[in-house]
Amino acid sequence: MDSLTSLQTKLRPDGILVLTMNREAQYNAMTISMVEELESALTQARANADVRAILVTGAGEKAFVAGADIKEFQQLTPAESRAFAERGQRVLQQLEDMPVPVLAAVNGFALGGGCELALACHLRVASDHAQIGLPEVKLGIIPGYGGTQRLTRLVGKGRALELMLTGNPISAAEAWRMGLVNHIVPPADLMPKSLELLGYMLQRAPKALAGVLEAAAAAYQGVTEGYAAEANAFVSCCHTDDFREGVVAFVAKRAPIFSGK
């Protein structure tokens, strides 16, 4: 994959696609073009069988993404405002729906659209100096890229409302305590820890990983839908070469060699 102007893409030999928000001088503030580049990169990634996981991060050490570029939406008409929000919602839903593990390596400020980007990832590892929040009410607006929905589901209504109604950011330590991030590490350990975590997942059967992601996503649709999705994924995995390999390897007390079939 080619590196794009404000979104760098790098596919590692192990199958991890690293997406780097690349506007370091602007604290990686997310522009409309960056959202469009992300959409294109995700479309390409979904069609590329060599992509087995995705890691999203920001250039430099100061910011993951410090928010949206305010200059781009302060003069929008109502119709343009809706299109702006719906575009971001669509792309971040595309990220959340990826059939491979997606991890956000939060290396600094993750505010507004940056927080929403991190929330759309399946897992989050944060530097211990990261600041995370949805400060939109301080500008007289609200999160528009799905933040009101994902944050509420992730940490509960009361905690989510406190963050969104005050607009105050929280530390990485507080984010970990409320379950917003999976791990916090020193800055030097952020990428190694993120790659290590994804590395464990790459040792598992790809179709099983996709099945877990699909079933977990269905949990938000209701109990009936969630159980149905789990059963469907279970049945699908039971008829794969990887399941047979997993059983043989378990009996033989060796590590399985999964093929993705």
- Residues annotated as catalytic are 116, 136
Where helices occur in the chain by DSSP H, the ranges are 32-47, 78-96, 113-120, 147-155, 157-166, 172-177, 190-202, 206-218, 223-238, 241-252
H-run or E-run covering 21: strand 16-21
- Identify whether the C-beta of residue 143 lies closer than 8 Å to the C-beta of residue 110: no
CA 36 to CA 18: how far, in whole Å? 17
Nearest residue to 193 (alpha-carbon basis) of 131, 90, 104, 256: 104
The strand order across the sheet containing 63-65 reads: 63-65, 109-111, 131-133, 170-171
- Distances in Å between the alpha carbon of 232 and those of 133, 188, 206? 36, 41, 16
